[in-house]
Amino acid sequence: MSDQAILRITREIKQIQQGTDLSLAVACQESDIRNVKALIVGPPESPYEFGFFEFSIKFPKDYPASPPNVKATTTNGGRCRFNPNIYAGGKVCLSILGTWRGESGEQWSSAQGLESILISIQSLMSANPYENEPGFENAKSSADKKYMAQYVAKIRHETLRVAVIQPLEESLGIQSDGTVLPPTGEYGSDEDEDSEPLFGDDKVPFEPFNDLRKRRFLWYYESYMQAIDAAEPNVQPKQAFERMPFEGGGNSMDGHFDYPELKRRMIFIKETIANETKNWAIEGLAAKEQEAGIAVNLQRQHEQIVEDLKHKKNFTVDLVIVDGNPFVWELTYFGRPMTHLDGGIFKIRIALSPRFPDEQPRVFVETPLFHHRVSKDGVLCYFPQRSDEMKYHVEAIVEALEEESPPYDPRTTVNPEATKLFWGSPEDKKKYNRALRRSVERSTEEAFA
C-alpha cells in the first residue's frame, strides 16, 4: 500500500474519531491500519434503536481506487440477518461497495470514504427495514403490511438480545449460568508478580468498543427497558419469529420472543457494571500503593484543576478526592445564579478507572435531579472536548447540567420522561421547569438538613 493511501486512511479514521457524530466509532491497531473496526449505534425511533452493530473493514492496496471490503460481525455467529441488505454471513449489500447493483452514479468513487460508507450502512437501519428488499415498491397487500410489522418486531427483539446484551455479557465476563468471571487487570488481579502481562496482540483480541458500550448502556438503560415493556404485550411467550419471504437458506433471522429473559439479563448487566465500577476504586487504591504512574497522574491532574478553579474564582464547583483515593472524585456543583439551577447544591461522583483514558470516567449525580441529561439512576450523559484530560471532563459535566437550549438529539438524552417534557408543548416545558426547580429546592434542603 502506498504512503498516500495510508495517509488518507489515517485522516479518514481521525475525522470520525474527532467528529461529532455520536452514532459512529472506528478504531484500528497502529501496526495494521488497513484493518479497521467500526461501530454503528442504531438510529433512534427505529427497531435498531441504540443497538451496537460492529463491522470489520479491510482496505485494499489500491485504495481509494477500489472500495474497502466491509463485513458485518454482529450476526450472532452468522445466524442472524439484521436487514435485507445485511446478511447473516456478514455481507453488506451496497452499490458503493460493489456488492449490489445500483443506479448510475451510485457506484464507488475515490471521492467517497470511510464515513460515507458507514452513513450508507446506517441508512439501511430505517424505521421500516422491510423496504430495503428489492420489489418493496410493489408490496401493497395486507399480507405485505403484516410482514412489515412482523419484521420490525423481531429486529427490535434481536437488536436488544444480539446487539446489546450479548456483547456486554461477553465483555463483562457474564456466563450463561449467571456467574461472572473475576476481572483481569493490571491492578487488583490474583496473578503472580512474575506472571506475564495480560495484554498484547498475541494474547487479547482487539476489542476497542467495550468501554463505549458499557457507558452507552448506562445512558440508554431506561430506553431499553421501555422498549421491552412496550413490545412484550404484543407477543406470546416463546412465540416463534415469522420468516420473511426473502429469508431462507441459512440467511435469515430465526428464533422466538422472550422479553422476560431479556429484561432479566438487562438488569444483571446493569448490576455487573455497577460492581465493576466499585471495583475500580479497589484497584485504584492498589495502584496508589504501588505508586503507579496513573495514580500519580490523576492526583496531579486533580491538584491542577483545583488550582485553576481558585485562580479563575470559580465558586460553582468544589472538587475533592474521596478518602485519599485518586480514582474517586466528588464534585459539588452550586447552581449558577440566573439559571434554572440557581441555588441548588448537587453532589456528583466521578469514578475513574486505573486504565484511564482507555476506560472513560463514569459520572453519577447522587443528589436527585430531574434533568434530560441525568437518568433516573443518576447517570450523567456528557461529552468532553478531549477524553484524555480530566479538566475537560469537569468542564463538560458542568456544561451538560447548565445547557438550557440544546438541540434535540435523542442520543444525548437519558431520561425519557424529562426529554418528553423538555421538547414537548409549551405547557410540557413549564412542567419540566417546575420539576427541575423542585429538585433544586430539595437539594438545598438536603444539603442543610
Q: Which of 28, 80, 93, 381 is catalytic?
A: 93
How far apart CA 209 and CA 25 sit, in angstroms, is 8
Phi/psi of residue 221, nearest 5 degrees: -55, -45
Q: Of 160, 222, 212, which Cα lies nearest the Cα of 418?
A: 222
**Which residue in the block uniquely carries the three cell numbers 448487566?**
269
Residue 376 per-residue DSSP state:
T
Phi/psi of residue 424, nearest 5 degrees: -90, -150
Residue 164 per-residue DSSP state:
I
Contacts of 271-280 with CB under 8 Å at 24 or more apart are 272/172, 272/174, 272/180, 273/172, 273/214, 273/217, 273/218, 275/180, 276/172, 276/183, 276/214, 277/351, 277/362, 279/183, 279/188, 280/327, 280/351, 280/352, 280/353, 280/354
Query: What's at 70, amino acid-wise?
Result: V
* Residue 35 CB contacts under 8 Å (≥ 6 apart), including other chains: 28, 29, 56, 57, 58, 59
How far apart CA 103 and CA 101 sit, in angstroms, is 7
How far apart CA 299 and CA 173 sit, in angstroms, is 30
Query: What's at 181, amino acid-wise?
Result: L
Contact 75, 90 (CB under 8 A): yes
The beta-strand segments (E) located in 328-433 are: 328-334, 345-351, 362-365
Give the CA dihedral 154, 156, 159, 160, nearest 10 degrees: -110
Query: What's at 267, amino acid-wise?
Result: I
Q: Of 184, 188, 182, which Cα lies nearest the Cα of 207?
A: 184
Contacts of 70-79 with CB under 8 Å at 24 or more apart are 70/94, 70/97, 70/117, 70/121, 74/162, 74/163, 74/167, 75/162, 76/158, 76/162, 76/166, 79/254
**Which residue in the block uniquely carries the three cell numbers 454482529?**
74
The beta-strand segments (E) located in 219-358 are: 317-321, 328-334, 345-351
For residue 18, give the C-alpha cell: 474527532
- Indicate if 93 belongs to the active site: yes
Q: Which residues form the catalytic set?
A: 93
